[in-house]
Amino acid sequence: MPTALNMAADDASMQAAVKRSSKLLHKRALLAGAVSAIPVPGLDWAMDAAMLSKLIPEINREFGLTPEQLDSLNPQKREQVQKAVTLVGSVLIGKLISRDLVIKAATTIGLRLTTKQLAKYVPFAGQIVAATVGYAAIRYLGEEHMKDCIRVAQKAGLEVPKADIPRLGYSG
């Protein structure tokens, strides 16, 4: 299965967007892993949802796929992007991201998250397992979302914004 960086190999601006998104994703996944090790019921789920509800729009922005960016496209290009989103099947592209929407998307890794919840109550080793699974779960969701963004941009012939686009919200 190709990585997001492999999928973007033919396009320098898309590769740059993947690298910027991967950097954001790595930071957030590390934080998620650290929070997952804390044996407080529900804390990691709430943190994961809050983190993803900020991370997903930042990844969308890197690929020119936020609602604001899509609204600025000409109607024909916007329609191409919407068709590509439908073909890819993403519920997280071109929409305002809510915690409920993130939780719906996270059900794809529900077993991992359940394992993380159970493992954290085993002293020390369980917390390491929970942290590792927490990190891996966020990395997986972020990587799959980047792949969806690449597929949409490629199918729609969308030009990926350059690095100097203004960023909103949390930057690290």
Q: Do the domain assignments include residue 1?
A: no
Q: Do the domain assignments include residue 46?
A: yes
| Structural domain that includes position 124 | 12-156
Q: Do the domain assignments include residue 132?
A: yes
DSSP 107: G
Q: Do the domain assignments include residue 5?
A: no
DSSP 141: H
Most distant CA atoms of the chain, gap in Å: 57
List, in sequence order, the alpha helices (H) in the chain: 4-7, 12-36, 43-62, 67-71, 75-88, 99-106, 110-119, 125-156
How confident is residue 74, by pLDDT bands cut at 50, 70 and 90? very high
- Report the domain count for the chain: 1
Q: Do the domain assignments include residue 4?
A: no
Task: Look at residue 111 in the predicted model and tell me its pLDDT.
Answer: 45
pLDDT at 117 over 90: no
- What average pLDDT score do residues 41-53 get? 74
pLDDT at 27 over 50: yes
